[in-house]
Chain A
Amino acid sequence: MNKLLVSDIRDLNDGIYKISSKNNCLDLNILGNVTIYLINENIDKINLNLKDGSNLFFYDFRENNQNNISVNINQVNNSKVHYNYSFKNSEDCECIINNDIKGNNNESYLSIRNISNKGLSKIIINVKVFEDTTDNIALEDLKGINNGGNVLVEPNIVALSNEVVANHLATIGGVDKASLFYLMSKGINESNAKEILLKGFIYSNMDDFIKTGGEDYA
């Protein structure tokens, strides 16, 4: 695991990186197979430029997000991005993710989980697949839970090419009643059942490194 304190534009080659940033902006060029973890970082602007042949797994986890964040993902040819963002908010916040797919043979998987404890959380996703491109895949998976606050999502996919697989899923609601009933029927009280369901939800698009606390013992 590489631990990076990033303060300017960086090229990231093959590797796994846990990133902290000196300022509020993260500007990265991705080359090769790269995994990035941001854990409770107050970064509000993220630019990710995926170079030819790159493959990025990006995990951004924020226990209590208080920022408006803006993410720009640029793909040209033969790249793959799994962008996973999971956050809770206790005041109004906005998240805008722009993903431009300008070339051929790219894959984009955007997965967002949000628990809004207070205030309005506005999530806007704009995926644009450019004209005259082929063999691209764009999938959006957005899920929000109104847990005292409210979640609003705008999932947009603009496909200007005929040769693209594009799909989006967006759900907003409260804690799932069937799941709550199931856990309570096993003898777990309502408060604990709700707590583990919310915990499970917020970590559901994160990997084991973050689920186990994000500490590197190596």
Chain B
Amino acid sequence: MLEIKNVTLKVLDKELVNNLNLTLNDGEIHVLMGPNGVGKSSIASSIMGNPNYEVEGSIKYNGKEITNLNVYERAKLGIYLINQSPIAIEGVTNAEMLRLALSEKTGEAVNIFDFSKELESICESLELDKSFIHKEINVGASGGERKKIELLHLWVLKPTFIMLDEIDSGLDVDALKIVGKSLAKYYEEYKPTMLIITHSNTLIDYFKDFKVHVLENKRIVKSGSKDLAKEILSKGFKDVSDTFVIRENENYE
């Protein structure tokens, strides 16, 4: 369970989010929507432990306060972020990075044969060329390939709390289908808690049940279920009916 209580988020003294309260129970999927530039990605990045953000308030994961933990310590707890634009890392291959991450996670040396078989099998399911396994992370990869590479990492590392920051942006229909199915399968198998940031319904349609929140003016102004997402996508953020408006300081769970 992830509990965000009275969180104010700043970057270079600029306040991005004020007094945010949100609880994500185990296995729940929450969708965060909102106009561009309101701080959705900043919330995900600060939950991951990005030191560029100043966080006031409390963020607890499975009862443990994480605001004072660094990114590595949060990752070790099972927190995972896929950015909308995954960076490329020259000179470090996917296999090398995953082998190291996996051995740190399990505390044991990785069996190379099993590891290679697993990576190949994941690549097949993602329709990702197996040559990427031994290629430098995201170097020379297209936008769609980068998202699939991030999913390859996810399937290997098996996190329990996943944040997807516009993973559906820039994907063609076929890639979107593969990414959506892969995430739905992962959810089915491991039941992680998920926070999905998106501007469309193409990805969230792969999930049966989820909660939707709208971030505007530094706080969550509307919350609801699938219907809220549908209404936003048909009417826009401004014209969503008041049924979804939540009162000042109301926590949404």
Contact = CB atoms under 8 A, between A and B. Distances in A.
Interface of A: 178-179, 181-190, 192-193, 196-197, 199-204
Nearest to A197: B92
A185 B89 contact: no
Contacts of B49: 185
Nearest to A179: B89
Interface string B123-154: 00000000000001100000000000000010
A199 B91 CA distance: 7
Contacts of A182: 86-87, 89, 137
Nearest to A204: B91
Contacts of B17: none
Given A196-B92, A203-B91, A204-B90, A185 B75 contact: yes
A87 to B, nearest CB: 15
Contact of A188 (B80, B86, B100): B100
- Interface of chain A, helix or strand or loop or mixed? helix
Given A181-B50, A192-B104, A187 B75 contact: yes
22 contacts: A178-B87, A179-B87, A179-B89, A181-B50, A183-B97, A184-B70, A184-B71, A184-B75, A185-B48, A185-B49, A185-B75, A187-B76, A187-B157, A188-B72, A188-B100, A189-B104, A196-B96, A197-B91, A197-B92, A200-B89, A200-B92, A202-B91
**A-B complex: 10 closest residue pairs judged by Cβ atoms:** A200-B91, A187-B75, A200-B92, A184-B72, A204-B91, A184-B71, A187-B101, A186-B101, A204-B90, A179-B89
A200 B139 CA distance: 12
Contacts of B96: 196
Contacts of B80: 185
Interface in B77-105: 80-81, 86-87, 89-92, 96-98, 100-101, 104-105
Contacts of A184: 70-72, 75
Contacts of B136: 200
Nearest to B49: A185
Nearest to B71: A184
B157 A197 contact: no
A142 to B, nearest CB: 15
Contacts of A197: 89, 91-92
B99 to A, nearest CB: 10
B101 A188 contact: yes
B102 to A, nearest CB: 8
Contacts of A183: 89, 92, 97
Contacts of B91: 197, 199-204
A202 B92 CA distance: 11
Contacts of A190: 70, 72
A179 B55 CA distance: 22
B230 to A, nearest CB: 32
Given A193-B72, A196-B100, 10 more contacts: A181-B51, A182-B89, A182-B137, A185-B71, A185-B72, A188-B101, A188-B104, A189-B72, A199-B91, A201-B91
Nearest to B156: A186
A177 to B, nearest CB: 8
B90 A188 contact: no
B110 to A, nearest CB: 13
Nearest to B139: A204
A187 B87 contact: no
A127 to B, nearest CB: 24
B95 to A, nearest CB: 12
Nearest to A203: B91
A201 B89 CA distance: 9
Interface string B21-52: 00000000000000000000000000011110
A193 B96 CA distance: 11
Nearest to A200: B91
A188 B101 CA distance: 5
A182 to B, nearest CB: 6
Nearest to B82: A185
Contacts of A193: 72
Nearest to A183: B97
A101 B14 CA distance: 53
Nearest to B80: A185
Interface centre among A178, A185, A188, A199 (most CB of B within 10 A): A185
